[in-house]
Structure 1
Amino acid sequence: MGNMINRNLGTIERLLRLLGAVILTGWLFTRGSHDLLSAVAAVAALALFANAIFSRCYLWALLGLNSCDPKDEHCGAPPRGS
């Protein structure tokens, strides 16, 4: 489990990512085209869904960002040496 990051997304950000994923998915279903833009949008929607479900964003972790409530013991960077 050394590669797993702690949660770094707060509730509001999770909801916004879920909303973005739903909007992108809806757009994909109504678009009726299967091209590179559709593939990129599908990957982005999947990533947003995963972020919202697991409360983790690897890009945020790489950038040192965290939108979690500081009182949440499961949020933040993993302890050093792990």
Structure 2
Amino acid sequence: MKRYDLRKLGNDFEPRMKEILEEKHKPNETLIFLFEIGDFTPIQRSADLVKECGYELYNSLKFNEVDWTIVVKK
């Protein structure tokens, strides 16, 4: 399991998230991403990116007032 904190990137987390998803990962490795949500549009964009990169979205949770966590697996 690997955890990636993308909160410091604000609303521009998608390019870095895509880079990470395109890296080689161990079979069945779980990836956890944290990012800021603001107006909730990043949630759908992140789910679309996960699907586009061939991963399965396992979980999507509001972490606190501004942060969101998603769990994915290839």
What TM-score do the two structures reach when normalised by structure 1?
0.23
Structure having greater relative contact order (Cα 8 Å, sep ≥ 6): 1
Q: Please state which structure has a larger fraction of its residues in strand.
A: 2
Q: Please state which structure has a larger fraction of its residues in helix.
A: 1
Larger Rg: 1
